[in-house]
A and B are shown apart, each in its own frame.
Chain A
Amino acid sequence: MSLIETLQTPFVWRALLGGLAIALITGPLGVFIVWRRMAYFGDTLAHSGLLGVCLGFLLGLSPTTGVLIVCLTLAALLAFLQARERLAADTLLGLLAHTALALGLVALTFLETLRFDLTAFLFGDLLAIDNLDLLWVWGGGSIALIVLIAIWKPLLAATVDEALARAEGVPTGRAQAMFTLLVAMVIACAIKIVGVLLITALLIIPAATAQRLARSPEQMAVFASATGIVALFGGIAASLTLDTPAAASVVTCATLLFALSRIIPVRH
């Protein structure tokens, strides 16, 4: 089958559509993760994915709902611990990430009836997404994007300097809590498609790529989404022609774009 014929098959279309939704939301969300130095927070939520899948199975809910519940719980737990403990944020995140992963693995052994594809879970299954997955990722992605645009101004002010913004009357607490919620939501919606190990990459690498070319915060968000979309198309094409894993090819492609962004000359 030639590449053109392959592109006309439904599973490729679903992969492209699902990936497009993910690229559109991870761009703007990712720039804030980079600016706020929260890369490891995304990783922690992803690590809890397995626990979420198990919880969803136990409660008779969809895996995505289970992951969403666990992600939101972890985000709340982190906020609670940060206010109470004197440990640094990265120590707390390490504690939560690996506890959640270990609990997930323990829970898995008790759920003998749960059919579970560990490889798909770790690396994602971009080329095997169904209509329900599409609904989740487009529904969750659109809501996240609309909310992010609504809180953009206060969130940006809080990201530049929290105390200064708060003194000037910006509702920083609300914007920051909302942002944490959005990260949890997007990770939960995208984890099945991109996989636990690679979801953080899609938040970080396009944002890092956009940084050198962007002249304003909004430009950086748009460039990050564009980078994500190019990486998505390139990665899926590579996966179809070279028979490589799809999500991994997308991330590799994003890294190539990052390298390219550092090589090309930029006028400042």
Chain B
Amino acid sequence: MKHNGEYYIIASYLSIPRLIMSASPSPETLLRISAASFRRQRLTILDAVDLTLRREEIVTLIGPNGAGKSTLLKIALGLLAPDTGEVWRAPGVRIGYVPQKLDINQALPLTVRRFITLSAATSTSEVENVLTDTGIPFLIDASVHTLSGGEWQRVLLARALLHKPTLLFLDEPAQGLDISGQDAIYALIRRIRDTTGCGILLVSHDLHLVMASSNRVLCMNRHICCSGRPEEIRHDPAYQSLFGGVNVQHLALYQHHHDHEHPLCDHEHHHHPSQSPRP
């Protein structure tokens, strides 16, 4: 792999229109993946996938298990290199990454403050600011081993924000949260996009909330089945054949949950400061 500024040529291909396109991406473009394919053993995991992410845009990858969503995210992050195809990032982009829940050794004493500053050179006031932005200023000196699911997601978001990202990658950011927790996380993600103007690439299973939050949805199953604005996607035959039935159920459930609060269900509500005061 040749490293040429921020431009990675992973495999050469000689399609002239593409070359012209890749030489002059629009100034709004932060990330572009062109014709990326990825194989392991004889299995094709990704087949000629294209993806473009612009400023102030939330693009969501949806697809069934094994569709290659996480592989594509890792390629976008630079953690994996595609076998063929090309990955381009705008010069000077800063990356924020929210992985799926981490497994940190219990024997490692780590506070939230320390965890989010592990790979960032930063000041105390910046740390306090991102924790306030994500709604968890009271967790600054808490041990990471005592966090609930919702708190973890916010801590991971805070760590990503500390890098002042222009490109934010989120892998199942609302995984394991109940409906109101998911709602709160997605509201936070929309707010981050609106206040920082960063481009956000999201992998998700939460179809209903994704639809409400995304600018564009990429529906994939090893290749891109269809893409477009959420309301367009919903009527696309390719989308309906993958998710149609499921989505109808989810939408019905979502409407129901969204109309009222749940007094009986408070096991995942730690993420609201007022509900979980900490010493």
Query: Could you say which of A112-120, A122-130, A153-161, A232-240 contacts chain B?
Result: A153-161
| B119 at the binding interface (Cβ < 8 Å) | yes
| A153: chain B residues within 8 A (beta carbon) | 118-119
**Interface-central residue, B97, B111, B120, by most chain A CB under 10 Å:** B97
B13 smallest CB distance to A (angstroms): 26
| A220 at the binding interface (Cβ < 8 Å) | yes
| B105 at the binding interface (Cβ < 8 Å) | yes
Given contacts A167-B79, A167-B97, A168-B95, whether A160 and B115 have CB atoms under 8 Å apart is yes
| B105: chain A residues within 8 A (beta carbon) | 34-37, 159
- Structural contact, B108 and A167, CB atoms closer than 8 A: no
A160 to B118, CA, bound (A): 9
| A214 at the binding interface (Cβ < 8 Å) | yes
| B77: chain A residues within 8 A (beta carbon) | 167
| A267 at the binding interface (Cβ < 8 Å) | no
| A131 at the binding interface (Cβ < 8 Å) | no
- Chain B, interface size category, equals 20 to 34
- Structural contact, A164 and B111, CB atoms closer than 8 A: no
**Residue from A35, A168, A216, A217 in contact with B119 in the complex, judged by beta carbons closer than 8 Å:** A168
| B107 at the binding interface (Cβ < 8 Å) | yes
| A214: chain B residues within 8 A (beta carbon) | 109
| B207 at the binding interface (Cβ < 8 Å) | no
A219 to B108, CA, bound (A): 11
A168 to B107, CA, bound (A): 24
**Residue from B78, B109, B159 in contact with A219 in the complex, judged by beta carbons closer than 8 Å:** B109
Chain A's closest residue to B160 (CB) is: A168
- Structural contact, A160 and B109, CB atoms closer than 8 A: no
A164 to B74, CA, bound (A): 11
| B114: chain A residues within 8 A (beta carbon) | 216-217
- Chain A, interface size category, equals 20 to 34
B227 smallest CB distance to A (angstroms): 24
Given contacts A169-B95, A169-B119, A220-B109, whether A164 and B102 have CB atoms under 8 Å apart is yes
A216 to B107, CA, bound (A): 11
A28 smallest CB distance to B (angstroms): 13
Chain A's closest residue to B78 (CB) is: A167
- Structural contact, B118 and A156, CB atoms closer than 8 A: yes
Given contacts A160-B118, A161-B99, whether A167 and B169 have CB atoms under 8 Å apart is yes
A24 smallest CB distance to B (angstroms): 21
| A211 at the binding interface (Cβ < 8 Å) | yes
Chain A's closest residue to B97 (CB) is: A167
Chain A's closest residue to B103 (CB) is: A161
| B104 at the binding interface (Cβ < 8 Å) | yes
**Residues in B lying within 8 Å of A, measured CB to CB:** 74, 77-79, 95-97, 99, 102, 104-105, 107-111, 114-115, 118-120, 159, 163, 169
Listed from nearest, the 3 A-B pairs whose CB atoms lie closest are: A167-B97, A157-B118, A168-B119
A160-B108, A161-B102, A169-B95 are known; give 13 further A-B pairs, CB within 8 A: A35-B107, A164-B102, A167-B79, A167-B99, A167-B169, A168-B96, A168-B120, A170-B119, A207-B107, A211-B107, A216-B110, A217-B108, A217-B114
